Amino acid sequence: MFGARLPMVDSALEPAEREFLRALNELGVRYLIVGVTAASIQGARVATEDIDLWFEDVGDVRIGEAAKRVGGIWFAGHFGMQPPALGGDLGDRFDVVLTLSGLGKFAAEYGKSKSVQIDGVEVKVLPLARIIESKRAAKRPKDLAALPALEAALAVLEEEEPKD
């Protein structure tokens, strides 16, 4: 499944969402799609309504520039009182994640990420094994409930990987 070509993933991205991700790439903003969305992209039979984005630096002004290009708004947070958020024409499906339980710093996790294409846009996703690690560490009931589906998907992916 993850051979020389990037896998294509069918998506329900809205045009502004797709163009926002493309703009982030063009501007060189490092981000990862994480959480259940990333798990779903990798074949887990799970559902979510949002798309979790983890940025290397939420203070990066290029995030706001990318949002502005598509009619979106970037709320960078307010003195630590409000978390960063995206809105405007981007709607409310993007959630900004500041930390992930049980994982390393962004740079270390980014180095382990997988590239996939969604609607013709190359994105980096947190690998399924790392998502599972984070869900276990978070220990929230909804995360623990998702573990069987995530682990089953990982087992299938590991079976499909070529053996040396």
| Confidence (pTM) | 0.86
Average pLDDT, the chain: 88
pLDDT band, very low/low/confident/very high, at 2 (cuts 50, 70, 90): very low
pLDDT of residue 49: 83
HEC profile for the chain?
CCCCCCCEECCCCCHHHHHHHHHHHHHCCCEEEEHHHHHHHCCCCCCCCCEEEEECCCCCHHHHHHHHHCCEEEECCCCCCCCCEEEECCCCCEEEECCCCCCCCHHHHHHCCEEEEECCEEEEECCHHHHHHHHHHHCCHHHHHHHHHHHHHHHHHHHHCCCC
- Of 1-15, 44-58, 83-97, 122-136, highest mean pLDDT: 122-136
pLDDT for residue 109: 97
Fold of 8-159: Beta Polymerase; domain 2 (3.30.460)
Query: Can you give the residue ranges of every domain in the chain?
Result: 8-159
Mean pLDDT throughout 78-93? 82
Give the pLDDT mean for 52-66. 96
The fraction of the chain above a pLDDT of 90, given in percent, is: 66
Which tops the pLDDT comparison, 90 or 77?
90
The predicted structure's pLDDT at residue 80? 60
